[in-house]
Amino acid sequence: MIVLSQVINGLILGTIYILMALGLSLIRGTMGILNFAHGVLFTLGAYFTVKVAMLTNFWVGIIIGPIFVGLVGMFIQRFFMRRLQGKHELFGLLLTFGMAYIIEDIIKIIWGVGGQPFNIPPSLSGFVNLGFLIYPTYRLFILGVTTFLLLALYIFLNKTKAGLIIKAGSRDLTMVSLLGIPVQKVFTLVFGLGTMLAGIAGALAAPMWGVQPTMGNKILIPCFVVICLGGMGSLIGAVVGGLIIGVAVSLAILIQPFFSDLIIYVIMATVLLVRPRGLFGEVGEAFE
Amino acid sequence: MSETTPKIALRSQNLKKHFGAIKAVDDVNFTLEEGTLHSIIGPNGAGKTTFFNCLTGKFPITEGKIFFEGKEIQNIPTYKLVRLGVCRSFQILNIFKKLTVVENVRIAIQARHPQRFNPFTKIDRKTSEEAEQILERIGLESFKNSVSQELSHGDQRLLEIGITIATAPKVLLLDEPAAGLSKQELQKLIPVINELRKTMSIVLIEHDIDMVLSLSDIISVMSFGKIIAEGCPEEIQNNEKVRKAYLGD
Amino acid sequence: MNLGTSITKKNAAFRVGAVIIGIFAFIMLPTLFKSIGSTMFLATEIFIFAIFALGFNLLLGFTGIISFGHAAWFGLSSYAAALFQRHVTPDSTLIPLLFGILFTTLIGALVGKLIIKTRGIYFAYVTIAFSQLVLFIIIRWTKLTNGENGLGGIERKPLFKFIDIVPEFNYYIFVVIVFILVFILLNIIIKSPFGRVLQAIRENRTRAIFIGYNVRSYELTSYILSVFFTSVAGVLDLFLLKYAFPESMATTMSGEVIIMTLVGGMHNLTGPVLGAIIITFLKDFISSFTDRWMIFLGGIFVLFVMVFPEGIMGFFGKWGGNNPFKSLLPKRDKESES
Domains and CATH numbers, chain B: 8-247 (3.40.50.300)
Q: How far apart are CA B236 and CA B220, in angstroms?
A: 8
Rounded CA separation C56/C229 (Å):
8
CA distances from C247 to C54, C110, C244, C253, C279 (A): 21, 23, 9, 8, 17
Q: What is the pLDDT of residue C34?
A: 66
Mean pLDDT of chain B: 84
Q: pLDDT-based confidence at C36, cuts 50/70/90?
A: low
The count of other CB atoms within 10 Å of the CB of residue B241 is: 12
pLDDT of residue B18: 83
pLDDT in the model for residue C311: 77
Per-residue pLDDT band for B228 (boundaries 50, 70, 90) equals confident
pLDDT value at residue C9: 56
Q: Per-residue pLDDT for C54 more than 80?
A: yes
* Whole-number percent of chain C with pLDDT over 70: 83
CB contact under 8 A, C212 and B56: no
User: Which of A36, A105, A232 is opposite residue C122, by nearest beta carbon?
Assistant: A232
In contact, B22 and B224? CB cutoff 8 Å: no
Q: Which residues of C lie inside 8 Å of B (Cβ-Cβ)?
A: 1, 3-5, 188-189, 191-197, 199-200, 203-204, 206-215, 217-218, 221, 225, 326-327, 334, 337-338
Range with top average pLDDT, A224-238, C116-130, C220-234: C220-234
Chain C CB contacts of A88 under 8 Å are: 328-331
Which of C211, C325, C331 is the best residue to mutate to test the B interface, defined by the most B CB atoms within 10 Å of its own CB? Answer: C211
Q: Phi/psi zone of residue A112: left (φ > 0), alpha (ψ -120 to 50 degrees), beta? A: left
Taking an 8 Å cut-off on Cβ atoms, the answer to whether C338 and B153 are in contact is yes
Q: Is residue A250 included in any domain, yes or no?
A: no
Reduce the DSSP state of residue B56 to 3 states and report it: coil
Q: Which domain holds residue A176?
A: 22-215
CB contact under 8 A, A221 and C132: yes
Q: Choose the closest CB to C3 out of B78, B106, B164.
A: B106
Using an 8 Å CB-CB cutoff, list chain B residues near C215.
79
Residue A269 lies in a domain: no
Least confident of A191-195, C231-235, C330-334: C330-334
pTM reported for the whole predicted model: 0.85
Q: Is some CB atom of chain C closer than 8 A to the CB atom of B25? A: no
pLDDT band at C330 (very low <50, low <70, confident <90, very high): very low
- Pick from B79, B112, B164: which is nearest to C214 by CB? B79
Domain-embedded: residue A259? no
Give the total number of structural domains in chain C.
Answer: 1
pLDDT at C40: 83
Residue A171: count other Cβ atoms within 10 Å of its Cβ: 11
Band (pLDDT 50/70/90 cuts) for residue C32 is low
Torsions phi, psi for C238 (to 5 deg): -60, -45
Asked if the Cβ–Cβ distance from C203 to B119 is below 8 Å, we say no
Domain that holds residue C86: 5-337
Interface test with C, best of A27, A101, A214, A282 (most C CBs within 10 A): A101
Contact A87 C306 (CB under 8 A): no
Q: Inter-chain contact B99–C5, Cβ cutoff 8 Å? A: yes
Q: How many CB pairs under 8 A join A and C?
A: 130
B107 reaches C (C-beta below 8 A): yes
Give the pLDDT confidence score for residue C324 in this predicted structure: 41
CA distance B232 to chain C (A): 30
CB contact under 8 A, A268 and C258: no
Q: Hey, are the CB atoms on B107 and C189 less than 8 Å from each other? A: no
More confident residue, C224 or B144: C224
Q: Select the more confidently predicted residue: B101 or A285.
A: B101
Q: Identify the pLDDT of residue C183.
A: 93
Residue-wise pLDDT for B179-216, tens only, equals 888 888 888 888 888 888 888 999 999 888 888 888 89
Q: If you average pLDDT over residues C155-172, what whole number do you get? A: 84
Cβ atoms B78, B56 nearer than 8 A: yes
Over range A135-157, report the average pLDDT: 90
- Taking CB atoms and an 8 Å limit, are A272 and C132 in contact across chains? no
pLDDT of residue C6: 44
Count of CB atoms situated within 10 Å of the CB of C34: 12
Residue A180 in any domain: the answer is: yes
Give B-chain residues touching C4 at CB under 8 angstroms. Answer: 99-100, 103
**Does the pLDDT at position C321 exceed 60?**
no
Chain B residues inside the 8 Å CB shell of C188: 119-120
Strand order across the beta sheet in which B63-68 lies: B22-33, B8-19, B63-68, B71-72
Query: Is the CB of residue A157 less than 8 Å away from at least one CB of chain C?
Result: no
- Interface residue B173 vs chain C (CB under 8 A): no
CA-CA distance, B135 to A95, in Å (whole number)?
42
C210/B78 touch (CB, cutoff 8 Å), yes or no: yes
B99 to C207: CB separation less than 8 angstroms, yes or no: no
* Domains contained in chain A, number: 1
Averaged pLDDT, A198-216: 91
pLDDT in tens, A28-87: 888 878 899 999 999 999 999 999 998 988 899 999 999 999 999 999 999 998 888 777
- CB pair distance less than 8 Å for B123 and C188: no
DSSP state of B122: P
Residue C307: list chain A partners with CB under 8 A: none
Average pLDDT over residues B14-37: 86
User: How does pLDDT run across B145-183, given as a tens digit for each residue?
Assistant: 888 888 888 888 889 889 988 888 899 999 888 888 888
Please tell me if residue A104 touches chain C, with a CB cutoff of 8 Å. Answer: yes
- The C-alpha R_g of chain A, in whole angstroms, comes to 19
Q: Do residue C295 and residue A101 have CB atoms under 8 angstroms apart?
A: yes
Q: Where are the beta strands (DSSP E) in B51-200?
A: 63-68, 71-72, 86-88, 171-175
B78 touching C, CB under 8 A? yes
B99 and chain C in contact, CB less than 8 A: yes
Sequence-distant (6+) residues with CB within 8 A of C52 are C70, C74, C229, C230, C233, C234, C257, C260, C276
Task: Render B208-249 in DSSP notation, one character per residue.
Answer: -HHHHHHH-SEEEEEETTEEEEEE-HHHHHH-HHHIIIII--
Interface test with C, best of A41, A97, A256 (most C CBs within 10 A): A97
Q: Are A42 and A199 in contact (CB under 8 A)?
A: yes
Looking at the domain assignment, is residue A46 inside a domain?
yes
- Are C329 and A28 a contacting pair at CB < 8 A? no
- Residue A188 domain flag: yes
Could you say which of C4, C210, C217 has the minimum Cβ distance to residue B88? C210
Asked if B126 has any chain C CB less than 8 Å from its own CB, the reply is no
Q: Do C203 and B149 touch (CB under 8 A)?
A: no
Residue B38: strand pairing partners: B203, B218
DSSP string, A85-100: TTS-HHHHHHHHHHHH
Provide the shortest C-alpha distance from residue C20 to chain A (in Å). Answer: 33
Tell me the per-residue pLDDT of C208-221, one tens digit each, with 9 for 90 and over: 988 889 999 999 99
Instruction: Please indicate whether, in this complex, the C-beta atoms of C193 and B167 are within 8 angstroms of each other.
Output: no
Cross-chain CB nearest to B149 (options C206, C209, C334): C334
In this predicted structure, what is the pLDDT of residue A46? 95
Nearest to C306 among A36, A83, A225 (CB): A83
Residue with more model confidence, A98 or A278: A98
Residue of B80, B108, B115 lying closest to C211 (CB–CB): B108
Q: What is the pLDDT of residues B79-98, one digit of tens each?
A: 888 888 898 888 777 888 88
pLDDT of residue B99: 85
Q: B125 to chain C: nearest residue by CA?
A: C1
Measured distance CA(C107)–CA(C126) in Å, rounded:
15
* Inter-chain residue contact C126 with A272, CB threshold 8 Å: yes
Closest CA to A253 of A67, A10, A81: A10
At C312, the pLDDT band (50, 70, 90 cuts) reads: confident
The answer to whether C151 touches C145, Cβ cutoff 8 Å, is yes
Rounded CA separation C238/C305 (Å): 32
Q: For residue C199, list chain B residues with Cβ-Cβ distance below 8 A.
A: 99
C207, B95: Cβ pair inside 8 Å? yes
pLDDT in tens, A236-287: 889 999 999 999 999 998 888 878 888 888 888 888 888 877 888 765 443 3
Kind plus residue range of the DSSP H or E element containing C54? helix C40-63
Q: Which amino acid is at A128?
A: V
Q: Once rounded to an integer, what is the mean pLDDT over residues C91-119? A: 92
- Do C118 and A94 make contact, defined as CB atoms within 8 angstroms? no
Nearest CA in chain C to B164: C211
Instruction: Give the confidence band of C279 by pLDDT, cuts at 50, 70, 90.
Output: very high
- Please report the pLDDT score of residue C126 as a whole number: 86
Give the nearest chain A residue to C308 (CA atoms). A91
- Residue A174 falls inside a structural domain: yes
Residues with Cβ within 8 Å of A44's Cβ and at least 6 positions away in sequence, in order, are A68, A69, A72, A103, A107, A199, A202, A216
Arithmetic mean of pLDDT over chain C: 83
- Measured from the Cβ of residue A75, the count of other Cβ atoms closer than 10 Å reads 14
